Amino acid sequence: MNQTTKNISTVLATDCGSTTTKAVLFERKSEGWRQTFRGEAPTTVEKPLADVTIGVRNAFTEIEELSGRKILKAQVSSEEESPILAKQSVDDPNGVDLYVSTSSAGGGLQMVVAGVVGAMTTASAERAALGAGAIVMDAIALDDNREPYERVQKIRHLRPDIVLISGGVDGGTKNHPLELAETVLQASPRPRFGETLRLPVIYAANKDTREEAAKILAEKFAFNPVANIRPNLETERLDEARDAIHELFLHHVMSHAPGYKKLLGYTPVPIIPTPAGFGEMVLTAAKQTGEQILAVDIGGATTDVFSVFRDPQSNEKFVPIFNRTVSANLGMSYSVANVLIEAGVENIKRWLPLSVNSVEIRDRLRNKMIRPTSIPQTMEDLLLEQAICREALRLALEHHQRLAVGLKGSKKVRALNQMLKDTGDELFDLMAIDLIIGSGGVLSHAPDRRSAALMLIDAYQPLGVTKLAVDSIFMMPHLGVLATVNADAAVEIFYRDCLVELGTVIAPRGEIKPGKAAVEISGLMATPLTIMAGEFKVIELASDERRHVEIKPLNANLDFGAGFGKSLSAELIGGPAGVIIDLRGRPLHFATDEKTRIERAKAVHKILGLEV
C-alpha cells in the first residue's frame, strides 16, 4: 500500500463501534477531497463470532456494492495478510491507497487514574486519560475521603484496560506516589481482555521514585514509566502520558481483543479510540481555521464534550488549548434515567411546548431505558426526547466546565494543550466560541434541522456571534484518524461533506428590561434591523449565503463580543435555521406558571417554523 501522503487519492476508513461498524470512502476528485460512499454492518466483537474483522469486511462489502469499486482481494493466503486490495495506479478503479480505523468496540478504552491530591495530580491524570479518548472508571486520590481498604476494594472490582498513576513533583515527596503503587498492587485488578495479559500501569509520578515503583509493580504488571505529568506545581505535561496510553491501547489492549490482532495488520496507521479520533478532528479544524470550537457527541449511554480555545498568553497567532470530558452516565437511552435523576423532572418539563404529567414523563423515560433502541412515534414523544437532550447537554457541559480549570496550586500559566489561570477559575468562555458542533442521533438525525439548532441554543445558551452545525453522518472519528495522515484532506472533507451548517445565533451578555430597544443590526437586511430585549427573532438566510454585518448595542449593559456597549463587525452564515437573534436573556428565565411557560415555548418553536 502506498503510504506517502502526496500519492494517496483513496482512503478507506472505519469506526468499529460497540454495535455498528461504519465504513466511509474518501476520494480525491478534480474538485478536491470528498466523501463518496459509506457502508455499515453489525460489529462482531462478541460471541459467537468474536472477530471484529468480520463486521469490518461486511461494511467493506456494502461499499463495494454501492460504489462498484472492488476493495477486497479475491483470496487471502494467510490470516495475517490484509484482505484489502491495494490501488495499483491513480487511474485504477479498484482498491484503495490507505485504510485507517478508530474503535470503541467492547466499551472503548477504560481506565483508572490515581493521584496524590484530587484537585491537582489526580485532575491532571484525568485530563491525560480523557484527552487520549478513555472513559475514566474511577479517579483515586489520597485525599478523596476514602479509607485505604476502600480504595483497594474499588480498584479490585474494576476491570480497566490501563491504570495511570501520578503524584509528587520531581524532587518532592516519595512516600505518597509509592503509596499509590502499593494500593494498585494490593488491589491487583484484572484486565478486561486476555487472561494472560499483564495489566499495563503507566507511572507518570515523581521521577525519583521510578526505580522503587518498578520494584513494587513490575513483577505483576506491565510497568511503563513516563515523564511526570506534574513535574512542578506550575507545569502540566500530558503529551507523553497520552502517547503511552495510545501505544498501550494499540499493542497491549486491542491485540488481546477478539480479532483486533488481525485488524491491526490491515493498516499501517495506529488505530485510535473513537473519542480520540473525534477530538483529533476538532483540534485539527481549530488549528487550520483559527476558530475556537465547542463540540459534543451525545449517545445512548454517554455524552462527550470537546473544546478548543486560543491561549491568550501565547505570542503566536493561535496556540490551541484542547479539552475533552466524558459524562459516562448521561445519554439518550441506556442512561436516560440518570438524566432524569440529575436534572429533575421539572427541568425537563420547562422545555416542553405542551402539558405533560410528571408521572407520565417518568414512565416514558423508564420505558426508553428498558427499550433503548426505540424511536419517537408521536410529536409528543419527539418533543420529550429533545427536552431530555437539552438537559443531558447542559449537565455534560457543566461537567466539562468543572474540568476545564487552571492548575490548582500553580502560580504560572500553562502552555500548549493545557488549562489556563492559576486560581482554578473556569477556562471555558461561551463568548469566545466561534462554532458549536452537535453530533449523535438526536442532533444529527433530528427530523428538522431547525430543532437541532434550537436544542444547541437552549442547552448551551451561547454568547456573542456563534455558528451552529451538526455532524451529518458521524464522520468525525473517521476524519480524525485521517487527519493524523493528511490534515489538509481531513479538513477539506470536514467542511464540505461532514458539517451541516445550521445558521448563526446572536446573543448578548447582560440584561435589560424586556421591551426596550436592545440592538441594531446593519447589513443583514435592506435596512437596519432593531430588536427589542426579550425577543427571539429569526431572519432567513440560505445555506450558501453569507452576510457581513455591524452589530450595535443600544444599551451599555449589553455585550455582543466587543465589550459592553461596543459595536461589533461579524460574518454570519446561513442554514436551515437562518440567523437567530436571541434576546431572551442569559441565563434563560422561565415563567413560574405552567400556562405562560408553555405559551412562550410554543412561540419560540413557531418563530423557527417548528411543528408543536
Q: What's the average model confidence in pLDDT over 116-122?
A: 91
**What DSSP assignment string belongs to 362-400?**
HHHHHHHHHSTT----SHHHHHHHHHHHHHHHHHHHHHH
Q: What local confidence, expressed as pLDDT, does residue 409 receive?
A: 55
Percent over 90 (pLDDT), the chain: 74
Q: What local confidence, expressed as pLDDT, does residue 3 receive?
A: 45
Q: What local confidence, expressed as pLDDT, does residue 408 receive?
A: 59
Lowest mean pLDDT among 153-167, 251-265, 501-515, 561-575: 251-265
- Determine phi and psi for 328, rounding to 5 degrees: -75, -5
CB of 296 closer than 8 Å to CB of 393: yes
**Of residues 3 and 512, more confidently modeled:** 512
441: number of CA atoms within 13 Å, CB side? Answer: 14
Q: What's the average model confidence in pLDDT over 445-454?
A: 96
Distances 345 to 328, 354, 370, 493 between C-alpha atoms, Å: 20, 14, 18, 41
Question: Average pLDDT, whole number, for the chain?
Answer: 90
Q: What local confidence, expressed as pLDDT, does residue 426 receive?
A: 52
Q: What local confidence, expressed as pLDDT, does residue 249 receive?
A: 87
pLDDT at 594 over 70: yes
Q: What's the average model confidence in pLDDT over 15-38?
A: 94
pLDDT at 270 over 80: yes
d(CA 440, CA 299): 6
Q: What local confidence, expressed as pLDDT, does residue 420 receive?
A: 31
The domain segmentation of the chain, as residue ranges, is 5-105, 108-264, 275-607
pLDDT at 411 over 50: no
Q: What local confidence, expressed as pLDDT, does residue 260 receive?
A: 87
d(CA 247, CA 33): 29
CB of 299 closer than 8 Å to CB of 389: no
d(CA 246, CA 252): 10
pLDDT at 318 over 50: yes
pLDDT at 422 over 60: no
Question: Quick one: pLDDT band at residue 5, thresholds 50, 70, 90?
Answer: low
Q: What's the average model confidence in pLDDT over 347-362?
A: 95
Any residues with CB less than 8 A from the CB of 551 and at least 6 apart, and which?
Answer: 465, 506, 519, 520, 521, 560, 561, 567, 568, 569, 570
Burial class (CB in 10 A: 0-12, 13-18, 19+), 116: buried
Helical spans, DSSP H, in 404-522: 441-444, 449-460, 476-483, 487-493
d(CA 574, CA 576): 7
d(CA 526, CA 272): 50
Q: What local confidence, expressed as pLDDT, does residue 1 receive?
A: 41
Task: State pLDDT tens for residues 171-202.
Answer: 998 999 999 999 999 999 988 876 667 899 99
Question: Quick one: pLDDT band at residue 418, thresholds 50, 70, 90?
Answer: very low
Q: What local confidence, expressed as pLDDT, does residue 417 receive?
A: 37
What's the chain's Rg over C-alpha atoms?
25
Q: What's the average model confidence in pLDDT over 97-119?
A: 90
CB of 148 closer than 8 Å to CB of 164: no
5-105 maps to which CATH number? Answer: 3.30.420
pLDDT at 419 over 60: no
Q: What's the average model confidence in pLDDT over 468-496?
A: 96
Question: Quick one: pLDDT band at residue 423, thresholds 50, 70, 90?
Answer: very low
Q: What local confidence, expressed as pLDDT, does residue 407 receive?
A: 58
Q: Give the predicted TM-score (pTM) of the model.
A: 0.88
132: number of CA atoms within 13 Å, CB side? Answer: 29
- Residues 108-264, CATH architecture: 3-Layer(aba) Sandwich (3.40)
Q: What local confidence, expressed as pLDDT, does residue 414 receive?
A: 39
Classify residue 66 by its DSSP letter: H
CB of 411 closer than 8 Å to CB of 445: no
Cross-strand partners of 34 = 27
pLDDT at 256 over 90: no
CB of 295 closer than 8 Å to CB of 436: yes
Cross-strand partners of 15 = 22, 102
266 in helix, strand or coil? coil
